């Protein structure tokens, strides 16, 4: 699911009349995603041209922003996507209305039209080293292009937020009925609580790791691929910039090493397993990245701590959402335990050693 606010064909048609994009042929709600309401708009008869390919772009994405994204921060996100699109990156380019404004209102919500990106995200089991290499290179290009976008947005889910998130998890866990799930929740919260102080002490600063604009949620579901020659996957686009912020560039790498470089199925709910770090994926991801932007020594040294921190971030937000979302809700809850295991994996000496070696290789 993610359509929290319905939009009828006539409402969308009226909204589109304010844009120079042609008329509305049809509107389809998009089931994927969790944060906002998204719709695919099919246009006729004079579709706008795609900036990258020059081909007719007969489809647009309409996003209505729900509670999680702060309205006063929307111009920052829109500005970043515009900036990256103008730099030639395959990201959802915001479409301005006839008055030159990108942000409008529909159904009482802030609304944005963006260009449709072709391709599909890679499902579990379909991630290859070659896809990781492409991801690394595209991420580095994003970081380089982002350097000339100067407004800043703080990372609301960085280390400064973790203590508070964990406290809220403890508070909610306190009201859970006792049972095997509450034991698993307590074990995970304990693991996070043990790792947190050390992580905060070791956290690197901008003196050793360059800062800039980061996507901060480059998970496989936010990266589109098309099929290239001989069945290979070519990266076709990156979406969902609503966690983007200004932070250490290597934060994005650490998130991707968590999200793309383990062999467990992402949805698994497991406690006490041993996460299987995929060295080939990590090597390809880092090589792809460094082909565009080589890491500095401070980043290589900080990679294990940053990877533990990224695991902590997703452990905590998922645990928070797990406890806050009733089991019967329409949104599928994501497993926080997977990230407990990944946090432990990035604490292991063998994985730390591999990261140090891979980080140095350009
Ligand atoms: N620019 C785009 N081009 C093509 N599909 C898109 C685009 N933006 C969003 N989508 C579709 O909408 C879905 C949800 O988008 P996403 O930004 O991840 O939503 P949310 O912010 O709610 O998590 C994606 O999985 C994709 O199918
Ligand atoms: N990637 C995050 C959740 C954010 O969901 P998205 O649909 O907005 O990408 C996670 O996996 O926990």
* In the chain, where the domains are located: 9-115, 129-360
- Rounded-to-integer distance, Cα 106 and Cα 245, Å: 26
- Rounded-to-integer distance, Cα 314 and Cα 326, Å: 19
Residue of the nearest CA to atom 5 in ligand 2? 34
H or E segment to which residue 56 belongs: strand 56-57
Check pocket membership of 333 for ligand 2, CB cut-off 6 A.
no
pLDDT tens, position by position, 175-227: 988 888 899 999 999 999 999 999 999 999 999 999 999 999 999 999 999 99
Check pocket membership of 334 for ligand 2, CB cut-off 6 A.
yes
| The pLDDT of residue 1 | 47
Q: What is the ipTM of this complex?
A: 0.94
Check pocket membership of 335 for ligand 2, CB cut-off 6 A.
no
Check pocket membership of 121 for ligand 2, CB cut-off 6 A.
no
Which ligand is nearest the CA of 219, by number? 2
pLDDT above 70 for 362: no
Q: Which stretch of 73-87, 168-182, 280-294 has the lowest confidence by average pLDDT?
A: 168-182
Q: At how many degrees (to 10) do helices 349-360 and 279-292 cross?
A: 30
Backbone angles phi, psi at 180, to 5 degrees: -65, -35
pLDDT tens, position by position, 319-345: 999 999 877 676 778 999 999 999 999
Q: Which atom of ligand 1 is closest in space to residue 36's alpha carbon?
A: 22
Backbone angles phi, psi at 253, to 5 degrees: -65, -45
| The pLDDT of residue 353 | 95
Protein residues with CB under 6 Å of any ligand 1 atom: 2, 30, 32-36, 38, 61, 92, 114, 116-117, 221-222, 239-240, 242
The CA-to-CA distance between both ends of the chain, in Å, stands at 41
Gap from CA of 2 to ligand 1 centroid (Å): 10
Residue 34 vs residue 104, higher pLDDT: 104
pLDDT tens, position by position, 38-63: 999 999 866 566 555 555 568 999 99
Q: Which architecture does CATH list for 9-115? A: 2-Layer Sandwich (3.30)
The domain 129-360 belongs to what CATH superfamily? Answer: Aminoglycoside phosphotransferase (APH), C-terminal lobe (3.90.1200.10)
- Rounded-to-integer distance, Cα 93 and Cα 127, Å: 26
Which ligand is nearest the CA of 332, by number? 2
Contacts of 69 (CB under 8 A, 6+ apart): 35, 36, 77, 242
Contact between 142 and 149 under an 8 Å Cβ cutoff? The reply is no
Check pocket membership of 299 for ligand 2, CB cut-off 6 A.
no
The reply to whether 129-360 shares the fold of 9-115 is no
pLDDT above 60 for 355: yes
Q: Which atom of ligand 1 is closest in space to residue 121's alpha carbon?
A: 25
| The pLDDT of residue 180 | 82
């Amino acid at each position: 699911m993610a359509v929290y606010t319905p939009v009828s064909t006539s409402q969308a048609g009226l909204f589109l009349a304010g844009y120079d994009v042609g008329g509305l042929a049809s509107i389809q709600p998009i089931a994927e995603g969790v944060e906002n309401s998204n719709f695919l708009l099919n246009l006729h008869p004079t579709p706008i041209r795609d900036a990258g390919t020059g081909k007719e772009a007969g489809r647009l994405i309409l996003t209505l922003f729900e509670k999680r994204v702060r309205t006063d921060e929307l111009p920052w996100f829109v500005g970043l996507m515009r900036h990256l699109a103008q730099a030639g990156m395959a990201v959802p380019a915001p479409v301005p209305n006839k008055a030159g404004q990108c942000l409008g209102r529909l159904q009482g919500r802030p609304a944005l039209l963006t260009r449709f990106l072709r391709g599909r995200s890679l499902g579990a089991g379909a991630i290859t080293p070659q896809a990781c290499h492409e991801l690394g290179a595209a991420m580095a290009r994003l970081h380089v292009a982002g350097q000339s976008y100067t407004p800043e947005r703080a990372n609301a889910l960085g280390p400064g937020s973790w203590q508070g998130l964990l406290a809220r998890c403890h508070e909610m866990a306190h009201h859970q009925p006792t049972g095997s799930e509450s034991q698993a929740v307590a074990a995970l919260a304990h693991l996070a609580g043990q790792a947190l102080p050390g992580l905060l002490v070791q956290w690197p600063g901008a003196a050793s790791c360059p800062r800039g604009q980061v996507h901060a949620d480059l998970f496989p579901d936010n990266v589109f691929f098309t099929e290239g020659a001989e069945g290979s996957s070519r990266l076709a686009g990156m979406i969902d910039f609503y966690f983007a912020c200004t932070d250490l560039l290597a934060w994005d790498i650490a998130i991707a090493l968590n999200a793309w470089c383990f062999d467990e199925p992402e949805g698994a709910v497991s406690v006490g397993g041993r996460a299987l770090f995929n060295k080939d994926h990590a090597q390809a991801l880092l090589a792809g990245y460094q082909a565009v932007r080589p890491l500095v020594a401070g980043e290589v040294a900080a990679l294990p701590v940053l990877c533990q921190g990224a695991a902590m971030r997703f452990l905590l937000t998922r645990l928070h959402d797990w406890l806050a979302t009733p089991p019967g809700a329409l949104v599928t809850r994501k497993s926080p335990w997977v990230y407990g295991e990944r946090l432990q994996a990035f604490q292991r000496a063998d994985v730390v050693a591999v990261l140090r070696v891979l980080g140095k290789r350009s």
